[in-house]
Amino acid sequence: MRTIHHYVNGTSYEGTSGQTQDVFCPSTGKVQAQVVLANKGDVDHAIAEAAKAQPAWGNTNPQKRIRVLNRWLQLITENMDELARTLALEHGKTFPDAKGDIQRGLDVVEFALGAPHLLKGEYSTQVGTGIDTYSMRQPLGVVAGITPFNFPAMIPLWKAGPALAAGNAMVLKPSERDPSVPVRLAELFVEAGGPQGVLQVIHGGKEAVDAILDSDIIQAVGFVGSTPIAQYIYTRAAETNKRAQCFGGAKNHAIVLPDADIEATASAIVGAAFGSAGERCMALPVVVPVGQETADKLAASIAEKARALKVGHSLDPESDYGPLVTQDSLDRVNRIVSEGVEAGATLLVDGREWTFTDKTFDGESLAEGFYAGPTFFDNVTTDMDLYTVEIFGPVLAMVRANTLEEATALATNHEYGNGVAIFTQNGGAAREFARNVQVGMVGINVPIPVPIAYHTFGGWKASGFGDLNQHGPDSFRFYTKTKTVTQAWPQAEDAGPQFTMPLMN
């Protein structure tokens, strides 16, 4: 059985805890590896070594740093197929979707290649007689990334790309459920010429995370995961004087106006609701048609398309989506579906009844895989768990609204505020919606509005804690501190000590 180790100082590190956890292949339900879990001593070791490596990296000319990142980008691209295959086999998303996971991460590394420009400070001359003021952005030191299972390449790259380009060292604590790709990314960083110790990968759960939070060396924590853990990390980071950006769960709404093209909209929603088995923070698990006629037509079209979906092995090119990540996730999804039926929602497509047409792929049995069929409910109400809870599975809930105002209020008043989409041909209505809705990322006829790397990504309300978003210019603000210098090169005679607040004139 393969063992997945930590990656410290450019080499595999076994750690001292003696603890391991199963890593499954969700497509077959079989254990495919063991991952070592760090104790506090292991984490402290990785952090201490990162602290030794960081000063030289931080003092390196930023152009030289980004040459390493550029080579890293090339190596990841050259190894894309191998990485995507590993990712698909540990996560369960399909091979093309796994490539998308990696590519959206690379987009941010590409953006981070602009570090020399992004790190430029400001300069004001003659702010007083013979006095100039300038600012510089300096690395924080050693920072941490704590990342979720559902994007095991993209989110580590969103963290590491800007943090490393800005001159920090990073201790990355990826999800213990799909840990291989983050290790491989760190290996490729060293292969690209990155100094050993600048990107460390430590596996583990709460004990490892607490060791990061308790460390005096760690200066900042970039977290992505579920809301309760995001809140925990945000609070603990503040207690231990670290800056933090913590992104949490989601329940994104798709609002459909009567003038939308029903077939195209239904296709977009089916892709966004069921793609990656619904395990995306930008998935669309709630659809809100405006008007009964829109709802009836949309419900019929979505149900037909959902029934036609092919669920299968993550490497099967026929699969529209693959299995859920664990048996626990599958049990939880099935329980929420059963409770939705009991609560009185109308079940139009029942994923629990879904069965394989062929129970093998490439000679392997799929019978024990963590598969959930597509589920679609109509007449869901706002008091049901189907509406309030982040299910993180292939379950779509339709909530009927009578007006755009009512639909907008649903998205605005929901606990989560990550993403939202509106489908319409009415530019004025879409513009007003985008201005008014209380959600961080808005799609207009775009079902999954993940902003491009040079804009920023971040949700509102219970979907994000902290004031700076991920990627885009915010990421460089997050991973640097500003120093402002006021300088004078006096040519006049010594005026003696001054005891009042200096006035710049």
Catalytic residues: 281
Determine the residue type at 113: L
How big is the chain by its Cα radius of gyration, in Å?
25
In the region spanning residues 217 to 256, those forming contacts with ligand NAD, defined by CB under 6 A, are: 224-226, 229, 247-250
Q: At 183, which amino acid appears?
A: V
Closer by beta carbon to ligand NAD, 107 or else 176: 176
Residue nearer to ligand NAD on the CB measure, 29 or 179: 179
Between CA 172 and CA 246 the distance in angstroms is: 14
Block residue for tokens 């004990």: 207
Kindly tell me which residue out of 390, 397, 422, 453 binds ligand NAD, with binding defined by CB under 6 A.
390
Interaction residues for ligand NAD, span 11-50 (CB under 6 A): none
| 151 near ligand NAD, judged by CB under 6 A | yes
Comparing CB distances to ligand NAD, the nearer of 141 and 393 is 393
Residues forming beta bridges with residue 31, ordered by sequence position: 24
CA angle, 460 then 462 then 468, to 5°: 45
The nearest distance, CB 44 to ligand NAD, in angstroms, is 17
Residue nearest to ligand NAD (CB): 225
212 vs 16: CA distance, rounded Å: 17
- Binding-site size for ligand NAD (CB under 6 A) equals 26
Segment near ligand NAD (CB under 6 A), from 62-70, 168-176, 361-369, 397-405? 168-176
Q: Which is nearer to ligand NAD, 361 or 457 (CB)?
A: 457
Measured distance CA(110)–CA(70) in Å, rounded: 8
Question: How is residue 383 annotated by DSSP?
Answer: T
Q: For residues 118-147, which are near ligand NAD according to CB under 6 A?
A: 146-147
Output the six-digit token pair for 378.
């109509």
Q: Amino acid identity, residue 327?
A: Q
Of 176 and 316, nearer to ligand NAD (C-beta) is: 176
Say if residues 140 and 241 touch (Cβ distance below 8 Å).
no
Q: Is 281 in the site for ligand NAD (CB under 6 A)?
A: yes
Candidate residues 58, 152, 161, 459; the one interacting with ligand NAD per rule CB under 6 A = 459
d(CA 394, CA 271): 10
205 binding ligand NAD? (CB under 6 A)? yes
Contact 457, 471 (CB under 8 A): yes
Q: Which of 206, 357, 363, 493: binder of ligand NAD (CB under 6 A)? A: 206
Measured between alpha carbons, how far is 370 from 330 in angstroms, rounded to an integer? 6
10 vs 249 by CB, closer to ligand NAD: 249
Instruction: Work out the end-to-end distance of the chain between its first and last CA atoms, rounded to an integer number of angstroms.
Output: 73
Binding mask 411-450 for ligand NAD (x = CB under 6 A): -------x--------------------------------
Which of 97-121 are b and which e, b meaning 16 or more Cβ less than 10 Å from the residue's Cβ? Answer: bbbbbbbbbbbbbebbbbbeebbee
209: contact with ligand NAD by CB under 6 A: yes
Nearer to ligand NAD, 94 or 424 (CB): 94
Taking CB under 6 A as the rule, does residue 340 contact ligand NAD?
Answer: no
Residue from 463, 469, 475, 480 in contact with ligand NAD (CB under 6 A)? 463
Least gap, CB of 173 to ligand NAD (angstroms): 6
- Piece of the chain touching ligand NAD by CB under 6 A; list 126-134, 136-144, 204-212, 267-275: 204-212
Under the criterion CB under 6 A, does residue 150 sit at the interface with ligand NAD?
yes
- Cα gap 194→189, rounded to integer Å: 5
- Do the beta carbons of residue 139 and residue 477 sit within 8 Å? no
DSSP state of 205: S
Classified as helix, coil or strand, 69 is: helix
Q: Does 392 bind ligand NAD (CB under 6 A)?
A: yes
Nearer to ligand NAD by Cβ, of 210 and 339: the residue is: 210
Dihedral sign of CA atoms 222, 228, 233, 235 in order: positive
Contact positions toward ligand NAD, by CB under 6 A?
146-151, 173, 175-176, 205-206, 209, 224-226, 229, 247-250, 281, 390, 392, 418, 459, 463
